[in-house]
Each structure stands twice: as C-alpha cells, then as structure tokens.
Amino acid sequence: MNKKIIIILPIIFSSLAFAENLKSPTSYSKDLYKEIILSGNYDKKIDHPDKFLDFNYGDRVASPSQIHDAINTYKNQSDKLKVVTYGYSHEGRPLHALFISSPENLNNLEDFEDKLSRLSDPRVTNNRQAKEIIESLPAVAWMSYSIHGNETSGSDAALGLIYHLIADNSPKTLNMLKNMVIIIDPIMNPDGRARFVKSLEQYRGTAPNYDDQSLIHTGDWPYGRTNHYYFDLNRDWFYLTQPETQGRVALINKWRPQILVDAHEMGAQDTFMTGPAREPINKNMDKDLLKWGNVFAQDQGSEFDKRNWRFYTGEWHEDLYPGYSFYVNFRGTLGILYEQSRMAEDGVRRPEGTIQSYKESVHHQFVSSLVNLNTLLKNTKEMYKDFWDGRKLNISKDSKWANQSFVILPTKNKSRLNTLAKKLQSQDIEIYINSEEIDVVNVLKQTGDIKNQYTIPKGSMIIPNRQPEAPLIAAILEFDAEIDNDVLTKEREETLKDGSSIMYDTTAFNFTMMYGLEAVTVPENLSKNLLLWEPSSINLEVIDDAIMWAVDGENDASVSFAARLMEQGIQLRIVDKEIELSNKMLSRGSVIVIAMDNPKISNLTSLIKNTAQDLNISVASLFTGFGPEELPDWGGRHFRLLNKPQIAILSHDGFSSYDVGVSWWSLDHHLGIRHSQINTSMIGYADLRRYNTLIMPSGYRNLNQNEISVLKDWIKQGGTLIANNASTRMLISDNSISNIRNIADSFENSHEYNVKLQREFLANNVVIDKKYINDNKVHFDLSYPWEESETRVDSDTLKKRDNWQSLFMPSGAFVAGRVDTEHWLTFGTIDTLPLLYSDFPVLMAKSNENAVIRIGELSKNNSQATYTTINWSDIPPGNDLKVRMSGLVWPEASTRIANSAYLTRERYGKGQIILFSGEPNFRGSSLGTNRVWLNAVVYGTGLGTSPRITP
Ligand SMILES: [Zn+2]
C-alpha cells in the first residue's frame, strides 16, 4: 500500500505542477506517424529499446548515454552480439563497434579477419586459395550512423537495428546472421550528439514544433555537427587527426567490410538521397564498385517505392575528395551514403502542408539498412570475386598505377615526416627509404615542371604505387586529381550563370602539399635499394656542463619545445640565421637554451631532456658560442630573446566554428600550453592586459568602433593580433586597424603596391657593377622597374577586370606561396609553400608592411626579354609566374591573386598585426601553413613587438 502511494505521488505532483504552470498541447507529434518500426518475432528476454528511453522508440532523439545503456544491457542478454570499444571521444565517451552474427560466427571472428587479410594481398594468396576463402567467408557489412551529431535519425535507427537483429527469431533474420557479420557503429560522433541533445532539451516547449527555423531544430553555436574541437569527422578519413576517426579507421581497415553504410541527414525540406555519386568522381575509384552501387540503390529504391517514400540518387552527391567515409572505395569496400531530410525532433512542416515526423525519418534509415543488408546477402560472393580481381590488378604491372612512385625528399623536419608516415601506415601503405641515390629519367615536381635526369637523394621516403593499396595511394598522394572536361564545362557554365558551383568540397587535398613537404612523382616503379622506412632515432644527450643546448628549427617540434619550456619559466633564444656551433649546423629558427640566461633554474638540463623526450626531438649540447667565419656568435643580434606568449582566442557567435575549433585544437594538440577562449562580446570591457597574443579565427562578426579602439590600444601597447580569412577581411576594411588593403580598395594606389613588389624582386637579385657605381659620374641611364613594362593598366580597367576575375575564385585549391626566406614567420617552411586557397581576401601590402608570403613562384623563362604586366604588378624579365599547383584554379583567378600577399605582418605602435588571407590550420592537416601560424603564435610576441622591461 505504502509503496503504491510512493509511486503515485510524484505523478500527481508533476501533473499538478504542469497544469498550474503550462498548458498542455492541443496535439502530440508522436501521433503523426502510425507505422511500427520494430515488428519482428522478438525474443522476450531481450529488452525492447523503449526500456532505455523516456519516450517511445523513434518518437524523439535518444541520447548517447541511453544508447550506451542499451548496448551494455544487450551484450549481457544476447550471444549474437560482441562489443568492441575502438576508442574514446575527446570528451571521454566510448566509441563502440557491435559485431552481430550467429553465436558460431562470433566464435570465429579471428579466423574471418585472417582470411580477409589474406584475400586482400595477392602476393601471399593464389587464385585457388582465394576461391576457398571466398567460399568460406560470411558477408561482412559495416553500418555506421550519425557522424554529424545533429543528424540524429541514424543513431536512433541503429538502436532499433541492433535490437531487431539480436531479438528477432524469424527465419529471415536468423539466416542473415548465419551468413553475415554485421558490424554496427551506432554513434560515430557521441560528443556532437550530446551537444545537440542538450540543446533539444533546452529549447523543448509543451507543444510540438514543426518550424525548421526554430532553435529546437537548429541548435546554437557551435552546433552539433562537429566533434569536441568542432572538426567535421566526415572530412577526416585519411588525414586522421581525431580519435574518433583514428580508432574507427584502424578497425575498418582490419576488417575490410564489403559495404560501409554512412547514414547522414540533410536539409529539412529535402527527401532522401542514396546511391552512387555523380561526376566528379575520383578517377582512382574501382569501377566495379560504381556498378555495385547501382545494384544496392535499385533495391533500396524499389523498397521506398513500395512504401510511397520519395527519394533520389546522384544530384549534389559527388566524390572527388577522398576524405569522406568513401575513402573505403579506394580500398575495395563499397561506400553507401544515406542522406535523410532532418526532422529532429518533432517533425517538420513542408511546403505542401504535410508534416513529416521524426519517427518516419528513423524508419527510412532503418528500412534502408535492412534492404542494403539483404542486397549484400544476395551478392556477397560476386562482390568478393570482384574484390579479389581488384586486389590482383593493384599489384600487377598492367594497372594504371604500376609505373609510378611518390618520393618525399629528405628533410630535417622529422616530426612532420613521422606524422605523414603514421597516417600512411594506418592505411596499410608500405613506405620505404633509399639507401643509395637513385638516378631516374625524369620527375614531376609539385609546381608541375618536369625535371629530366634527376637524382633522388639518399634517405628519401619512397612509396611505389604498385602495391595492394594502390588506388588509395594515388588518391591521396598524386599532385592533381583528374577532373573531366565535361565537369569543367559544367562548372564554368554554373559559375558564369549565377556564381554557383558543382564542386562539393576542396578540389585539392594531396598529403605532401597539405603537409608542406617537398615531393616529386617518378614515372617508374622504384624497387631497388629500398629498405622499409623507419623513424630515425633521436639524440637526447643533454650534457650538464655545456653552455647552451639547442633543437633544430626546421623540426616542427621545436616550436612546441619552445612553448612548453617558456611556460615553465625558462628564458629562450632563437636564431634567425643558420648557425654552426661546436661543429653542429643548426637551421634558421633553432631554439637555444643558454645556461647564463637561466641562473635560477636548478633542474635546467632535466627539464630540457624531458621536454625533448616528450616531443621526440634531438637536442644538441653546445660548448662554444663562437661561430666560424661569417656565421653568428652567441652574443650577437641573431640570438634573439623570446617572450612567453599569453594567448587568448576570440570565439563564439559570428566566428567560423571550424576555424575556432582547429585553432584551439592546434594549441592543445601541438603545444599543450595554457590559453583562454574568450567570448568576443567581452572585447569592449575585458581586461586584455592578461594577454600578449590575441588570435582572431575567421569570422563574420564586425567589431564595433568601441571594440576596435580597445583593440588598437592593446596592440599599440605591445600586443600581437593574429587574424584569418574573414576576420582579416574585416580588419583591412576602411576605419579598421590594418594598413593592408583588400585588392578592390587598392586600385587608386596600384603604383605603390607595385613599387613595393619591385623592391622585393630587385633585392633578391642584386648584381653589382663596381666600376659603373664608382666612376663618379651622374648616370643618365638609370632604370625604373615600373617604367620598363609597356602595358600599364589604369585604375578603371583594373577595377572592371577585378570584378570579372572575382567570379572565378577557387573553392579549395593549392597555389604556390613565394616565401620570404629571411622572415622569422617562415622558420621551418620550404621556399615554395603550397597554400590551400579559396575565396579569401586578396591582400595588398605597400610601404613598411611585410608581405611574408606572396602568391606565385617565379620560374625561369629565358625567352621573356622584358617586364610583363599582370594586372597591377610586373614580373622581371626572364621569368614566368606560376600560381596553380593543384585543383581547379581558373586562369582568371590566377591572374587576380598573382603577387598578392597570403601572409602579412605590420608594426602597430609597440605591437604588431599578422594577417592570414586564408585559414592556415585547415582541418588540422595543412601542416605547411600551420607551422607559420604556430611561429606567429609562439614567437610573435618575442620577435615582432618591442620587448617589455620591468623597471
Ligand atoms: Zn552529414
């Protein structure tokens, strides 16, 4: 009796409270859709999903913890399920893959895995063995859901699918489990989903909301799509920067499933999209898979027809970029994309007046999954045969990849090279090092030049393209992804008509350009004098009675070394020129700890050693400060004192969450030092004296005049402001802070910008005729570079041309960065740095501003006898200018951005402003430009502002 009262009381209480405060709705969204999703012959011993939810299955969005509760229960209730935890998200949520099959199959998983591995390498397996393996293998499917956290219906469908497969005792399901191993990855991005579920809770009212513009549907900044650091996990499949992707890819690659379903959502007013992509499709993709894609889409389409559900295939779905889940297509797995219109969470009213409910969207994903599994069951043996044929082709001398090798030239930047090796090895790519020089007939350079009679230096990293993962190797290492003429025609048509694009993502992405590593492609299968590549060992001999210790500045880890030691109160210096001390050559940008600078630090050498060990970087112990001949000595001006950065990142509404996230991640991932993210609305009244370095990621929030004047004062007093892309655009507008101008505002003064450019060109190419200079006469034949060109363009024409050319800006392509090799911002970069470029502000520098990286590589053209004019700028005789390196860059765009700056640095009072035209940390993977950004963040306050001396 008592018990009953205890149970009833809270209900009475809550309904009373409810009645008093809020009106109940006139209708419920759960009544919109009457179909039943889960309708099997279910085993009563397995808990229905409703048990784990505070609503009926499919009515609302299940939270990650509700789904995890179900998984933890099911693994005890069923012997048809094995749970593998392949990682943890940044916020500590487990990442599960559920292996579902018959209990007998689950006992043989190791055997299947071994067979799949043998079937994928024809160097260890012959045709007869392959046939036996194919006969004995079950079908293997990888079903993954909701990689974008706010695209929720997939994970809800996954919960139902898990239950259905382990609880349904119908012969159909039992037969499926007997012949298949189904691997379900139910919540690919639990942190993003948790963020979105929280906002659903926060914005939920009493009445259902069907307006897709309302906050309950959209969520708020930084939204639920991305993971903890605001990374789009569906762009990370070969860059592998996030724990979710790293763990997932390791397991997928071990299993080589036959299909990989990746269930998403798209715009609320859309329907359902699946099936194979339309052009552009990456040319390295297996043609058989395109064929199979159609087979699966056809079955799925018929099922949708039967149920009166609308859908489409192709349209906006292209597949040029290999960093989607579709990376599996290059490894022989068929990737299948679902895009369900987004209904979370009550449903959405559509133009025809109907309301599509959330439950229906879950049902679409659920049915699609089952249909795809059945199609695989029917075709598994044929697909295995095609897979085997594909693998044989990959290692044969007849494939289009057979006579091609990728070579990464030797570098002292060991940490970047090791990172690359790790990513390649995660994809089972075999990499080598050459023990001797190799002479080859010719090579293709990153700038597109062919160089004949080339010698590959000893110690290069070599990746022959004739190996089992050949298609993926080509997709991620070839300098240019081929795009058909038809696609270019269509793209140009769209651009001209209304400025739209048929390209869905970046058109350039290859690893070596992203990483800023010098590489060549050799049209040969290199196979002689190769050893398996291994990371080189480091030297950690930190000798106590040395007078200085140094780490080499070409290695990216040197920046982290500096940042981490400064945080521990150690005074550091950096050399802005190459040095040689104690017979050791150290690059420009090397970080030096001098014992004399740190008299009070008693454990100096152990701090140095531990930090270097953590970062896997060699330390040189130096015993003399004397550099031979012209080389710098330790008391001179080239040993520059660093200053500890105190960093804040401006964040929140109006900023690109991607660029905020990746800046934050880069500080945490590369440096691991303290910093603050501050809400930009605080700029006007926050105490900015706490920081000496402010990072302004790309954003569209225009600062008001008060905020700008606060920032100006702060910079004048010695602050370093670093801005990217859209924030740079704001800072170079009139009334703002910087003297840099966007190109559209530069035409009246185009002469001054050209003069600045000519000074740089001439300074890099000084030839002295001593007799001429010293003959004491006034010379009448002086030359003025701007008078040398015959084709001056007036400002009106420049303006008209610029308007036209701006229509053709790239959407993610590599252009050549011409690097000022003496500037401290370019420590650790190569001379021609690939820049991932898009519709960025086109930066113009004159007078005293430094144009640290400009666009275009000068290349010799001896038939070019005079100056040539490109819009506002001139190129010296004997040269061409190369802009495009990879991806789609229309000639109009090349002309527009030629010689403009990608990176500028200007003094402002005692401080400085550093502007990036683009987003240097793109996807956490553009390590070439990320290094420049890290130089700005860690070294900027020491090297670019007036030193602060405490009296
Ligand atoms: Zn998505």
pLDDT tens digits along 350-391: 989 999 999 999 999 999 999 999 999 999 999 999 999 999
Tell me, in angstroms, the distance from the centre of ligand 1 to residue 273's CA. 12
Range with the poorest average pLDDT among 3-17, 158-172, 726-740, 785-799: 3-17
Tell me, in angstroms, the distance from the centre of ligand 1 to residue 650's CA. 27
Tell me, in angstroms, the distance from the centre of ligand 1 to residue 218's CA. 14
pLDDT tens digits along 293-305: 999 999 999 999 9
Instruction: Give pLDDT, residue 137.
Output: 98
Please say whether the beta carbons of 531 and 461 come within 8 A.
no
- Alpha helix ranges (H) inside 42-189: 64-77, 103-107, 109-119, 127-136, 153-167, 171-179
In SS3 terms, 434-456 reads as: ECCCEEEEEEEECCCCEEEEEEE
Tell me, in angstroms, the distance from the centre of ligand 1 to residue 20's CA. 41
pLDDT band at 9 (very low <50, low <70, confident <90, very high): very low
Paired tokens of 379: 């075709």
The share of the chain scoring above pLDDT 90, in percent, equals 87
Q: Is the pLDDT of residue 791 over 90?
A: no
CA 249/CA 255 separation, integer angstroms: 10
* Cα angle 377, 382, 387; round to 5: 110
Tell me, in angstroms, the distance from the centre of ligand 1 to residue 235's CA. 10
Tell me, in angstroms, the distance from the centre of ligand 1 to residue 289's CA. 22
Tell me, in angstroms, the distance from the centre of ligand 1 to residue 338's CA. 9
Tell me, in angstroms, the distance from the centre of ligand 1 to residue 670's CA. 28
Tell me, in angstroms, the distance from the centre of ligand 1 to residue 232's CA. 9
Instruction: Give pLDDT, residue 317.
Output: 79
In SS3 terms, 829-866 reads as: CCCEEEEEECCCCCEECCCCCEEEEEECEEEECCCCCC
Paired tokens of 822: 């003496």
Tell me, in angstroms, the distance from the centre of ligand 1 to residue 482's CA. 26
pLDDT tens digits along 738-776: 999 999 999 999 999 999 999 999 998 898 999 999 988
Instruction: Give pLDDT, residue 3.
Output: 44
CA 628/CA 72 separation, integer angstroms: 68
Residue 757 bridge partners (DSSP) = none
Tell me, in angstroms, the distance from the centre of ligand 1 to residue 278's CA. 18
Please say whether the beta carbons of 813 and 884 come within 8 A.
yes
Rg of the chain, C-alpha, whole Å: 31
Tell me, in angstroms, the distance from the centre of ligand 1 to residue 801's CA. 38
Instruction: Give pLDDT, residue 788.
Output: 78
Instruction: Give pLDDT, residue 747.
Output: 95
Tell me, in angstroms, the distance from the centre of ligand 1 to residue 437's CA. 47
Tell me, in angstroms, the distance from the centre of ligand 1 to residue 274's CA. 13
Residue found by looking up tokens 């070019």 in the block: 864
The mean pLDDT value for 931-940 works out to 98
CA 760/CA 757 separation, integer angstroms: 5
Strand ranges across the sheet with 530-532: 450-456, 438-445, 519-522, 405-408, 461-464, 432-434, 530-532
Paired tokens of 803: 């308007």
Tell me, in angstroms, the distance from the centre of ligand 1 to residue 90's CA. 20
Q: Is the pLDDT of residue 562 over 50?
A: yes
pLDDT band at 706 (very low <50, low <70, confident <90, very high): very high
Residue 172: CB atoms within 10 A of its CB come to 12
Pairing of strands 675-679, 647-651: parallel
* Distance set, CA 87 to CA 84, 91, 355, 570 (Å): 9, 11, 39, 36
Tell me, in angstroms, the distance from the centre of ligand 1 to residue 151's CA. 6
Tell me, in angstroms, the distance from the centre of ligand 1 to residue 561's CA. 38
Q: Is the pLDDT of residue 735 over 80?
A: no
| Average pLDDT of the chain, as a whole number | 94
CA 788/CA 434 separation, integer angstroms: 48
Tell me, in angstroms, the distance from the centre of ligand 1 to residue 36's CA. 26
pLDDT tens digits along 830-871: 999 999 999 999 999 998 899 999 999 999 998 888 899 999
Host H or E run for residue 127: helix 127-136
Tell me, in angstroms, the distance from the centre of ligand 1 to residue 266's CA. 6
Tell me, in angstroms, the distance from the centre of ligand 1 to residue 724's CA. 26
pLDDT tens digits along 871-930: 999 999 999 999 999 999 999 999 999 999 999 999 999 999 999 999 999 999 999 999
Instruction: Give pLDDT, residue 14.
Output: 47
Instruction: Give pLDDT, residue 8.
Output: 42
pLDDT tens digits along 672-689: 999 999 999 899 899 999
List CB-based neighbours of ion ligand 1 within 5 Å.
148, 151, 264
pLDDT band at 628 (very low <50, low <70, confident <90, very high): confident
CA 153/CA 57 separation, integer angstroms: 11
Pairing of strands 405-408, 450-456: unpaired
The mean pLDDT value for 303-332 works out to 91
Tell me, in angstroms, the distance from the centre of ligand 1 to residue 265's CA. 5
Q: Is the pLDDT of residue 13 over 70?
A: no
Residue 345's closest CA among 355, 337, 333? 355
Residue 142: CB atoms within 10 A of its CB come to 26
Please say whether the beta carbons of 835 and 816 come within 8 A.
yes
Residue 445: CB atoms within 10 A of its CB come to 17
pLDDT tens digits along 397-435: 999 999 999 999 999 999 999 999 999 999 999 999 999
Tell me, in angstroms, the distance from the centre of ligand 1 to residue 25's CA. 32
The mean pLDDT value for 599-612 works out to 96
Tell me, in angstroms, the distance from the centre of ligand 1 to residue 146's CA. 7
Please say whether the beta carbons of 855 and 820 come within 8 A.
no
pLDDT band at 17 (very low <50, low <70, confident <90, very high): low
Instruction: Determine the residue type at 303.
Output: E
Tell me, in angstroms, the distance from the centre of ligand 1 to residue 308's CA. 24
Contacts of 859 (CB under 8 A, 6+ apart): 447, 449, 879, 880, 881, 882
Tell me, in angstroms, the distance from the centre of ligand 1 to residue 262's CA. 9
Instruction: Give pLDDT, residue 503.
Output: 84
452-470: burial string, b at 16+ Cβ within 10 Å, e else: eebebeeebbbbbbbbbbb
Residue 454 bridge partners (DSSP) = 440
Tell me, in angstroms, the distance from the centre of ligand 1 to residue 425's CA. 27
Contacts of 739 (CB under 8 A, 6+ apart): 846, 847, 849, 906
pLDDT tens digits along 511-522: 999 999 999 999
Residue 697's closest CA among 934, 936, 921, 850? 921
Contacts of 459 (CB under 8 A, 6+ apart): 410, 433, 434
* Cα angle 238, 241, 247; round to 5: 80
Q: Is the pLDDT of residue 499 over 50?
A: yes
Peptide bond into 280 cis (omega under 30): yes
Residue 726 bridge partners (DSSP) = none
The mean pLDDT value for 147-167 works out to 98
Tell me, in angstroms, the distance from the centre of ligand 1 to residue 311's CA. 17
Host H or E run for residue 559: helix 557-567
pLDDT band at 279 (very low <50, low <70, confident <90, very high): confident
Within its chain, how far is the Cα of 739 from the centroid?
31
